[in-house]
Structure 1
Amino acid sequence: MWRTEGLLPRYRSYLCTMHAVIRASVPLMELARDRVRQQAFSGDPLAAPLAAYLEEHIQEEEGHDDWLLEDLRAAGGAAGDALGPQPSPLVASLVGAQHYWIEHHHPVALLGYIAVLEGYAPSPGLTGHIARRTGLPAAALRTVQEHSVLDTDHLDELYALLDRLPLTRELEAAVAVSALHSLDALTRLFVRLGRSAATPSPRGAGPVSPMGVTP
């Protein structure tokens, strides 16, 4: 993924792909918060602490999709590169599964998704590696740099919440299945990006098939 050959266009593709994922984060949390506040969860001991956590985390995550667009522009791309193309089926699978579980099972499943997205934060040295090999300015690397710090604190907050929630065995399984699905989908997304041709199209995520095989 971060090899030197073709890194600049691949990094732009990474920004477009992560924007497709991250722009869904706040709407997913809002959906889960609103769902858990509904009458269907009246008397559920998870409802109040889960809604409070999501309300706070929504505020923490607002605007991060805009960071990615700013990074993309600073890296020589355009907002349309991320906003124009249809997102990959892998992104739809990653995010769409959470919609289903929130609406048709229990909103607590979303915590597995959040744990994966924030449990694999960029390493502190990644921004330096990208900058040295692409010549990009710091303005193009803000999201990677910020999340190498922010996600560690956010993960600690999530683990503390999971420790105090009175989860049944069934709901523990819901969180675990959500996390495993999210990890699988993200792995396939990164494999797809890593297999991108050295000189992909400047638009969107480059000439890569939806299943991640370079044509």
Structure 2
Amino acid sequence: MQQTLARQKPTPFETLCAATVAEQQALYDIPVISQAIQGNIKLTTYVAFLTQAYHHVKHTVPLLMLTGSRISHQDEWLRTAMAEYIDEELGHEQWILNDIKACGGDPEQVAASEPAFATELMVAYTYDAINRISPLTFLGLVHVLEGTSVALATQAAKAIKSSLALPNKAFSYLISHGDLDQGHTQFFEELINKMTQQQLAVVIKACKRFYRLYADIFRSLPTS
């Protein structure tokens, strides 16, 4: 009987997902996201999305480095995981600029532009939370960005490509972070499942905040 109950106990990753389902749904309910999945957005909206993605993705590696530097020696396994993430995330912001160019946009202009306030706020909060609260807060952002991408990116890419008649090379960022990225998702799940209850609580709290912050970026996009 005890063995049966033990098997039914949710894993830390399942607990994380269950604890943040309301915040996740609030993000998915934003009109521009449902429009993208239906392929009902303008080219300007897609380029605007890529522009804001560039402005937060370019901080991913610096944030990973900061996170790794703040992890205690007792959690060396977690620092090693951050190093693996760095190898996987290097250069992704350039993929976005390439996508923008394939859409007919100006990647140099985008790179020189200022982020939307919502994007700047999410990035600033990430740096602040790593330093002020815990380096584990960064994993809340990872869960929000990767979970959203795996759930929606491939479907949205196919719909937008069809409706706007864009080439495949305009979707390298979305497709690479879509449902083909299962290995990355499994790596994150295994990471969360190694955490103590106290560590998991930090990630859950951060995740709730990042869902709201990321949702505000979508709300800032021009709608169809």
What's the TM-score, normalizing by structure 1?
A: 0.80
Q: Distance in 2 between matches of 1:12 and 1:56?
A: 30
Indicate whether 1:152 and 2:182 are aligned.
yes
**Residue type matched to 1:156 in 2?**
Q
Q: 1:55 — aligned with what?
A: 83
- Residue of structure 2 equivalent to 1:85: 113
Q: Aligned residue for 1:20? A: 55
Secondary structure of residue in 2 paired with 1:73: helix
* Length, aligned pairs only: 187
Q: Is the 8 A contact 1:93 1:185 kept in 2?
A: yes
What letter is aligned with 2:102? A
Give structure 1 stretches of 5+ with no counterpart.
Answer: 199-215
8 Å CA contact 1:50, 1:108 repeated in 2 = no
8 Å contact kept, 2:140–2:206:
yes
Greater mean deviation of Cα atoms: 75-84 or 27-36: 75-84
Is the 1:72–1:140 contact (alpha carbons within 8 Å) kept by the matching residues of 2?
A: yes
- Residue aligning to 1:125: 155
Matched, 1:29 2:64: yes
**Aligned letter for 1:108?**
L
* Corresponding letter in the other structure for 1:116: V
CA distance in structure 2 between the partners assigned to 1:96 and 1:151 by the alignment:
27
| Aligned-partner Cα distance in 2 for 1:21–1:151 | 19
Letter of the 2:201 counterpart: A
**Aligned equivalent of 2:200:** 172
User: 1:126-146: CA deviations, max 9, x gaps?
Assistant: 222111111111111111111
Q: Is the 8 A contact 2:140 2:207 kept in 1?
A: yes
User: Per chain length, whose mean CA-contact separation is higher, i.e. which structure has more relative contact order (CA < 8 Å, sep 6+)?
Assistant: 2
Deviation at 1:147, TM superposition (A): 1.1
Higher helix share: 2
Of 210, 215, 220, the residue aligned with 1:182 is 210
Q: Structure 2, unaligned stretches of length 5 or more?
A: 1-31
Q: Indicate the residue corresponding to 1:208 in structure 2.
A: none
Report the Cα offset of residue 4 of structure 1: 5.3
Secondary structure of residue in 2 paired with 1:49: helix
- 1:8 is matched with 43
Q: How far apart are residue 103 of structure 1 and its match?
A: 1.4
Task: State whether residues 118 and 155 of structure 1, in contact with CA within 8 Å, keep that contact through their aligned partners in structure 2.
Answer: yes
Residues 74 and 139 in structure 1, CA contact (< 8 A), matched pair in contact too: yes
The 2-side partners of 1:81 and 1:131 are apart by 23
Partner AA of 2:209 in structure 1: H
CA distance in 1, matches of 2:174, 2:134: 31
- The residue aligned with 1:135 is 165
| Counterpart secondary structure, 2:97 | helix
